[in-house]
């Protein structure tokens, strides 16, 4: 650490000890004493489906006046299929099985209205005044009479409408759709309104999802940060930590599927509340166990329990499953895995038939092939098109689909990992067919593509495949489970990441070379960009058996945000966050503002302290949590050094036309923008360029200095998070408050370790000093001497004082006049310690640094 006088800092002194810090109160919070103490032990297990009594007396009175009865005609008539004769809940369960979708809607209203209104709301027949009426024109004569058919037509199969109507002097609210599941979606949307204390008068709402298939992929225990096998809470002995028990042992063996546990139904209700309609139940590195007859019986029971909620199942498969001895004598040899052979196709048809016999609405298969050691068609000399179409042909007669993943990066294809997927898939999409059409992938194949070209990093440019696969169905795959975004320790709200991706411009062009009118990634995904009739979005889910189901209370927000975006990708992440906070934590406006503020900057902060300015994948290979920029693995493209390319000239991977040429995979506008260091957005700089240490950045600083400040401000945001959360203590229930508080402490320490490890490693190449004139830089005046030049990344600074000099800080002089300074404590003597808190703002939110000064002689 260097010490210098004044150090060129702009002078502005602050009153010592009286400066405010940015707390919830600055976001509009009333004084803490306004709140009654909150009950202490809620564990988060209801997710956002908490129906706490409405606290605002005015709102409560209005709701009670408007909502007097629940009418769901013929709720029990359209029973869904059940395969499992004795389907039952585990002993002691609190959830219950339902047999129809409208029964699920009715029961949710009973639970929801009863909870919110603090008194039971009766289920009634007829059309009483103040009724909430739910149904379809088919299920309900009342709905048929209340809602004109022409108003229902535009809603399709999944859309709903909610209307306040008055008939013969009676006021009712009708929730209707063309299908039972649409009516269920409307019911949840209505309850969400009440949970957020929005008005229920004069309702005239409708909503139609933009994307047809809105699925979760569930990876059992891989990348699971929410189960009792990690650090989690909850779970039962013998469970693996996974959401669904297929193979639990010991005390839990008796609770394996077909037994249904409470959490399965909480998950089902939560999924339905967002409109999610599909679930692949096992990891993409697939275990063929899930295709065995015994497992199919278990899956059928799960499907039975989930079916009323509109959730259909799929299974991930291993391409070489036909060679698996578990299917003997019905096995194939390796040579018979030829995707064009009848044996291969018939084998998959047989498997799909077995599944369909038990699960009539079974969706199909998710496939990871020729990727990370998984077998695939290339093992026999075929390509991804041959393989996907082979299995697709086998299941097409059964109405099933294949979700074939494009996460492939075979090193023989190109030295740059990012180029490989498009080089493999693009030509198949562009291939002229004998019938005059273009593109070889079958109609029931979806390519499932991660949002970015690498692997779920906290920031990536959009995957160039979006827009480039004009002739193929394409699903976007987002990772909800926070493998690279803090796992179950860091508070990282992913809504802004997904919003950024879905709203990023592909600059896709049409056949005439002109820019398409609708060409954001979201338009490509929802089919409107290029006229695709079918559309899909997939989230790799973060469910586990932890009490709060997601491992971190704030990780629930990511599941919630994924579901809301799956329904409508145009929603702002901020609005989704605000809804979630109201449903999950509190309806008090200042609490909502404070928690939303905490969430909204969290992802950009994480980018800043982990991988700022576009340096990618600096994770240690063991767990993808902490940093290891120096790591060099046997596989080049798994190694942090492969991505950072650190050397004495600079940092980053040159993918420009003079580098790997990856930028050429984008449409022309982006190819030009990313190809040039001058026009590449700074937040993606090192994705595309090897950036010289002394390059001048937009801030006016050189790259090295900017880089260091990004790391520091990321950590400073987390320091602010802790302090903001602490200030909410009186307004948040005790158990969850304490659990989040403990996570934030670990978060801050781990963010600091990212900064220190990475900056230290880069410094070995840049050979430059740590800059000290950053956004929270200060000088202190002690004994009439102004001392500055402190490293804002250091935990403490040692300050030698002249013999006899007082250690009292008489003035704090910030470099940026907009920051606030507060002396939290003075040193009692020398040696002694003083602490100065500096609070400011960066482009992604508030930042805070407690400078610790150790005075010595
Ligand atoms: C990587 C994960 C790995 C997955 C892989 C995939 O580390 O567990 O199998 O993605 O998506 O990020 O196939």
Please tell me the distance between residue 219's alpha carbon and the centre of ligand 1 in angstroms: 10
* Closest atom of ligand 1 to CA, residue 484: 12
pLDDT at 434 over 80: yes
Q: Annotate 746-787 with DSSP letters as a single string.
A: HHHHHHHHHHHHHHHHHHHHH-PPPP--STT-EEEEETTEEE
User: Per-residue confidence at 167, pLDDT binned at 50, 70, 90?
Assistant: confident
pLDDT at 112 over 70: yes
The token pair that represents 620 in the structure block: 């240690």
From 99, 416, 483, 705, the catalytic residue: 483
Which of the 8 DSSP states describes residue 846?
E
Please tell me the distance between residue 79's alpha carbon and the centre of ligand 1 in angstroms: 39
From 73, 220, 239, 455, the catalytic residue: 455
Is 483 noted as a catalytic residue in this protein?
yes
Task: Give me the helix-helix angle, 602-610 and 495-502, nearest 10°.
Answer: 90
Pocket lining: 509 vs ligand 1, CB cutoff 6 Å: no
Which residues are registered as beta bridge partners of 217? Answer: 280, 540
Please tell me the distance between residue 212's alpha carbon and the centre of ligand 1 in angstroms: 25
E strand or H helix at 479: strand 473-479
644-683: pLDDT as tens digits: 999 999 999 999 999 999 999 999 999 999 999 999 999 9
Pocket lining: 690 vs ligand 1, CB cutoff 6 Å: no
Most ligand 1 atoms within 8 A of CB, residue of 455, 481, 487 to mutate? 455
466-519: pLDDT as tens digits: 999 999 999 999 999 999 999 999 999 999 999 999 999 999 999 999 999 999
Please tell me the distance between residue 291's alpha carbon and the centre of ligand 1 in angstroms: 21
Please tell me the distance between residue 505's alpha carbon and the centre of ligand 1 in angstroms: 26
The token pair that represents 693 in the structure block: 């240490």
Please tell me the distance between residue 814's alpha carbon and the centre of ligand 1 in angstroms: 45
User: 8-12, 72-76, 189-193: which has the minimum mean pLDDT?
Assistant: 8-12
Q: Hey, is 449 helix, strand or coil?
A: strand
* Closest atom of ligand 1 to CA, residue 222: 8
* Closest atom of ligand 1 to CA, residue 540: 11
Most ligand 1 atoms within 8 A of CB, residue of 372, 406, 410, 623 to mutate? 372
User: 128-137, 229-238, 714-723: which has the minimum mean pLDDT?
Assistant: 229-238
Pocket lining: 221 vs ligand 1, CB cutoff 6 Å: no
Q: Determine how many CB atoms are found less than 10 A away from the CB of residue 251.
A: 11
From 129, 372, 647, 726, the catalytic residue: 372
Whose Cα sits closest to atom 10 in ligand 1? 455
Q: Determine how many CB atoms are found less than 10 A away from the CB of residue 150.
A: 7
User: Per-residue confidence at 543, pLDDT binned at 50, 70, 90?
Assistant: very high
Please tell me the distance between residue 455's alpha carbon and the centre of ligand 1 in angstroms: 8
Q: Annotate 299-353 with DSSP letters as a single string.
A: HHHHHHHHGGGT-EEEEEE-TTGGG-GGGTTS---GGGG-TTSHHHHHHHHHHHH
183-239: pLDDT as tens digits: 999 999 999 999 999 999 999 999 999 999 999 999 999 999 998 754 445 667 889
pLDDT at 273 over 70: yes
E strand or H helix at 260: none
* Closest atom of ligand 1 to CA, residue 456: 12
> Could you give the CA distance from residue 526 to residue 533 in angstroms, rounded to a whole number?
9
> Could you give the CA distance from residue 726 to residue 751 in angstroms, rounded to a whole number?
19
Most ligand 1 atoms within 8 A of CB, residue of 225, 283, 286, 483 to mutate? 483
- Side-chain half-sphere exposure of 806, counting CA atoms within 13 A: 8
What pLDDT does residue 247 have? 95
Whose Cα sits closest to atom 11 in ligand 1? 407
Pocket lining: 223 vs ligand 1, CB cutoff 6 Å: yes
Pocket lining: 289 vs ligand 1, CB cutoff 6 Å: no
Q: Hey, is 250 helix, strand or coil?
A: helix
Most ligand 1 atoms within 8 A of CB, residue of 284, 538, 643 to mutate? 284
* Closest atom of ligand 1 to CA, residue 368: 13
Averaged pLDDT for residues 410-437: 98
Spell 384-415 as b/e; 16+ CB within 10 A means b.
bbbbbbbbbbbbbeeebbbbbbbbbbeeeebe
pLDDT at 4 over 50: no
Cα separations in angstroms, 594 against 457, 495, 834: 27, 17, 29
CB < 8 Å & 24+ apart, contacts of 735-740 = 735/40, 735/41, 735/42, 735/43, 736/42, 736/43, 736/44, 736/553, 739/553, 740/491, 740/552, 740/553, 740/554
Averaged pLDDT for residues 88-103: 98
Residues in CB range of 173: below 8 A, 6 or more apart: 66, 67, 131, 132, 133, 162, 163, 164, 165, 190, 200, 203
Whose Cα sits closest to atom 1 in ligand 1? 455
Q: Determine how many CB atoms are found less than 10 A away from the CB of residue 620.
A: 15
User: Are 716 and 849 a contacting pair, CB within 8 Å?
Assistant: yes
What pLDDT does residue 235 have? 67
User: 2-6, 362-366, 483-487, 562-566: which has the minimum mean pLDDT?
Assistant: 2-6
User: Per-residue confidence at 28, pLDDT binned at 50, 70, 90?
Assistant: very low
317-361: pLDDT as tens digits: 999 999 999 999 999 999 999 999 999 999 999 999 999 999 999
End-to-end Cα separation, the chain, in angstroms: 17
Please tell me the distance between residue 379's alpha carbon and the centre of ligand 1 in angstroms: 20
* Closest atom of ligand 1 to CA, residue 283: 9
User: 227-241, 431-445, 512-526: which has the minimum mean pLDDT?
Assistant: 227-241
> Could you give the CA distance from residue 717 to residue 492 in angstroms, rounded to a whole number?
12
What pLDDT does residue 198 have? 97
Please tell me the distance between residue 687's alpha carbon and the centre of ligand 1 in angstroms: 20
Question: What's the chain's average pLDDT?
Answer: 94
What pLDDT does residue 38 have? 59
Pocket lining: 285 vs ligand 1, CB cutoff 6 Å: yes
Tokens 């998984």 -> residue: 374
* Closest atom of ligand 1 to CA, residue 223: 8
Is 455 noted as a catalytic residue in this protein?
yes
Task: Give me the helix-helix angle, 180-195 and 262-274, nearest 10°.
Answer: 90
Please tell me the distance between residue 824's alpha carbon and the centre of ligand 1 in angstroms: 46
Most ligand 1 atoms within 8 A of CB, residue of 316, 367, 407, 475 to mutate? 407
Whose Cα sits closest to atom 12 in ligand 1? 455
User: Per-residue confidence at 732, pLDDT binned at 50, 70, 90?
Assistant: very high
> Could you give the CA distance from residue 595 to residue 329 in angstroms, rounded to a whole number?
58
Spell 443-471 as b/e; 16+ CB within 10 A means b.
ebbbbbbbbbbbbbbbbbbbbbbbbbbbb
Please tell me the distance between residue 156's alpha carbon and the centre of ligand 1 in angstroms: 35
Pocket lining: 477 vs ligand 1, CB cutoff 6 Å: no
Pocket lining: 619 vs ligand 1, CB cutoff 6 Å: no
> Could you give the CA distance from residue 178 to residue 160 in angstroms, rounded to a whole number?
8
Pocket lining: 579 vs ligand 1, CB cutoff 6 Å: no
What pLDDT does residue 394 have? 98
Averaged pLDDT for residues 610-625: 97
> Could you give the CA distance from residue 101 to residue 98 in angstroms, rounded to a whole number?
8
Is 431 noted as a catalytic residue in this protein?
no
């Amino acid at each position: 650490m260097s010490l210098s006088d004044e150090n060129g800092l702009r002078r502005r002194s602050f009153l010592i000890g009286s400066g405010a810090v940015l707390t919830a109160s600055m976001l509009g919070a009333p004084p803490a004493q306004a709140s009654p103490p909150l009950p202490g032990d809620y564990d988060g297990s209801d997710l956002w489906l908490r129906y706490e009594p409405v606290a605002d007396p005015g709102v409560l009175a209005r709701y009670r006046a408007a909502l007097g009865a629940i009418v769901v005609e013929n709720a029990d008539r359209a029973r869904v299929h059940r395969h499992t004769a004795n389907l039952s809940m585990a002993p002691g369960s609190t959830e219950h099985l339902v047999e129809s979708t409208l029964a699920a809607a009715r029961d949710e209203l009973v639970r929801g209205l009863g909870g919110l209104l603090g008194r039971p709301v009766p289920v009634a027949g007829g059309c009483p005044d103040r009724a909430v009426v739910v149904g379809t024109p088919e299920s309900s004569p009342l709905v048929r009479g209340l809602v004109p058919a022409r108003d229902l037509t535009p809603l399709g199969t999944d859309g709903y409408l909610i209307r306040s109507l008055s008939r013969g002097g009676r006021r009712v609210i009708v929730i209707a759709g063309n299908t039972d599941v649409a009516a269920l979606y409307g019911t949840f949307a209505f309850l969400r309104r009440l949970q957020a204390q929005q008005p229920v008068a004069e309702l005239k709402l409708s909503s139609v999802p933009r994307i047809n298939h809105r699925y979760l992929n569930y990876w059992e225990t891989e990348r699971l940060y929410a189960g009792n096998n990690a650090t989690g809470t909850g779970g039962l002995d013998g469970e693996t930590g996974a959401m669904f028990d297929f193979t639990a042992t010991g005390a839990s063996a008796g609770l394996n599927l077909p037994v249904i546990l409470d959490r399965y139904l909480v998950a089902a209700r939560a999924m339905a509340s967002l409109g999610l309609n599909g679930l692949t139940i096992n990891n993409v590195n697939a275990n063929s166990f899930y295709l065995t007859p015994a497992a199919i019986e278990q899956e059928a029971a799960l499907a039975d329990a989930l079916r009323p909620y509109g959730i259909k199942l799929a299974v991930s498969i291993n391409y070489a499953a036909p060679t698996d001895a578990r299917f003997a004598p019905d096995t194939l040899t390796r040579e018979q895995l030829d995707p064009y052979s009848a044996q291969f196709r018939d084998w998959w048809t047989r498997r799909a038939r077995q599944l369909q016999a038990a699960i009539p609405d079974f969706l199909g298969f998710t496939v990871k092939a020729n990727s990370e050691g998984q077998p695939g068609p290339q093992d026999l000399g075929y390509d991804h098109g041959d393989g996907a179409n082979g299995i697709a042909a086998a299941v097409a007669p059964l109405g099933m689909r294949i979700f074939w993943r494009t996460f492939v990066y075979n090193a023989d294809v190109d030295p740059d990992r990012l180029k490989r997927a498009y080089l493999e898939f693009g030509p198949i999409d562009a291939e002229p067919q004998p019938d005059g059409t273009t593109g070889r992938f079958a109609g029931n194949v979806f390519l499932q593509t991660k949002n970015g070209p690498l692997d779920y990093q906290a920031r990536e440019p959009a995957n160039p495949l979006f827009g480039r696969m004009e002739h193929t169905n394409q699903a976007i795959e987002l990772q909800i489970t926070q493998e690279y975004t803090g796992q179950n320790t860091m508070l990282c709200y992913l809504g802004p990441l997904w919003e950024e991706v879905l709203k990023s411009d592909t600059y896709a062009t049409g056949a005439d070379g002109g820019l398409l009118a609708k060409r954001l990634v979201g338009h490509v995904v929802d089919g409107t960009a290029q006229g695709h009739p079918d559309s899909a979005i997939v989230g790799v889910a973060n469910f586990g058996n932890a009490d709060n189901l997601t491992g971190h209370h704030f990780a629930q927000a990511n599941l919630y945000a994924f579901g809301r975006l799956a329904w409508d990708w145009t929603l702002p992440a901020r609005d989704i966050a605000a809804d979630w906070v109201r449903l999950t934590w509190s309806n008090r406006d200042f609490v909502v503002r404070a928690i939303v503020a905490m969430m909204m900057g969290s992802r950009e902060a994480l980018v800043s302290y982990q991988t700022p300015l576009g340096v990618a994948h600096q994770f240690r290979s063991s767990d993808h949590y902490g940093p290891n920029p120096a790591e060099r693995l046997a596989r080049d493209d798994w190694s942090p050094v492969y991505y950072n390319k650190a050397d004495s000239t600079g940092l980053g991977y040159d993918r420009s036309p003079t580098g790997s040429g990856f930028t050429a995979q984008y449409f022309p506008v982006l190819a030009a923008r990313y190809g040039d260091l001058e026009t590449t957005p700074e937040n993606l700089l090192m994705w595309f360029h090897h950036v010289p240490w002394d390059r001048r950045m937009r801030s006016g600083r050189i790259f090295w200095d900017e880089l260091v400040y990004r790391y520091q401000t990321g950590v400073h945001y987390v320091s602010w998070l802790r302090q903001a959360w602490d200030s909410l203590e009186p307004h948040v229930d005790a158990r969850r408050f304490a659990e989040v508080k403990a996570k934030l402490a670990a978060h801050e320490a781990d963010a600091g370790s990212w900064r220190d490890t990475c900056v230290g490693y880069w410094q070995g190449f840049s050979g430059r000093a740590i800059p000290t004139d950053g956004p929270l830089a200060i000088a202190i005046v002690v004994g009439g001497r102004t001392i500055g030049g402190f490293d804002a990344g250091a935990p403490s600074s040692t300050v030698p004082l002249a013999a006899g000099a007082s250690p009292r800080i008489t003035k704090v002089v910030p470099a940026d006049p907009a920051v606030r300074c507060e002396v939290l404590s003075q040193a009692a003597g020398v040696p002694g310690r003083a602490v100065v808190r500096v609070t400011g703002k960066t482009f992604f939110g508030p930042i805070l640094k407690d400078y610790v000064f150790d005075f010595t002689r």
